[in-house]
Amino acid sequence: MTQPVSNRPLISITNIIWSFDPVTKQLLILLLQRNHAPFKETWGLPTTYLRADESADAAALRLVREKLGVQLAQFHTEQLGTFTAVARVPDERSLALTYMVYLPVKPQLVPGYGARDVRWFAVTPRQDRDDLVAGELTFKGVADAVSAAEFYQQTPPVASLTADHALIIKTALQRVRNRLDYAPTILLVLGSHFTLKQAREVYAILWRRPVTTIDNSNFRKTHAHLFVEAGTAQSHSSGRPAKVYRLKSVG
């Protein structure tokens, strides 16, 4: 029997935590497997409830400290949006304030309180969606053509993410993809400095293209206004070391 939905909404903070693996060249999103109701054993994004004595921005940073033990400056986070659909959590009125967190490191993962498992999932482009893959686990992304209204009307597949986290991830991917040509803050996952090759590797994933199709010279011409030269990379070869850059918008 369906329970009545509470008239007093719960306010949660949900983080899309991005990272990058320099060895596998994969753009990563952190997911954890829950150990408690109402979504026991499902995989989803790190979430916490907003405390009475903190701002939403502070809660997003606290969530990173609690789950990963990483202290970040405010510019590593930005608000994505608020998800308020009545149908997003069964038998509970829950609003989600969502944040994107750009992690410049890839720390060791240990399941914390309320989690059975925690893993980095690689953003894996398909023709009209982006799947998340970690070993034998794959979660299909929401197709580009599916609207938020259509998403909430669908019956969730058996192997689905917690609540509406698949929609939140799709929204996050759309945000970073749409901003690549004017505010590519996703490159913060590469650290404070990066080479153009590293930037192209991130862009290729989000553009759903092989990195070999992105010409380095053309990329420099079209995106130079977004970057500031910051020296050269350390090199162990005899060739000329690559130039490194930083995001102009970060300073």
Instruction: List pLDDT tens digits, range 165-223.
Output: 999 999 999 999 999 999 999 999 999 999 999 999 999 999 999 999 999 999 999 99
In a domain, 26, yes or no: yes
Q: Specify the number of domains making up the chain.
A: 2
Structural contact between residues 88 and 129, judged by C-beta atoms closer than 8 angstroms = no
Where do the DSSP E strands lie in 22-114? 26-34, 43-44, 47-49, 77-83, 94-102
Structural contact between residues 122 and 130, judged by C-beta atoms closer than 8 angstroms = no
Peptide bond into 38 cis (omega under 30): yes
CB proximity list for 221: less than 8 A, separation 6 or greater: none
| Structural domain boundaries enclosing 102 | 10-178
Measuring CA to CA, which residue among 104, 109, 111 is closest to residue 120?
109
Structural contact between residues 236 and 242, judged by C-beta atoms closer than 8 angstroms = no
In a domain, 28, yes or no: yes
Q: How confident is the model at residue 35 (pLDDT cuts 50, 70, 90)?
A: confident
Per-residue pLDDT of 42-75, as tens digits, reads 899 999 989 999 999 999 999 898 888 888 888 8
Residue 26 has pLDDT above 70, yes or no: yes
Residue 1 has pLDDT above 50, yes or no: no
In a domain, 19, yes or no: yes
**What's 241's domain CATH number?**
1.10.10.10
Average of per-residue pLDDT values in the chain: 88
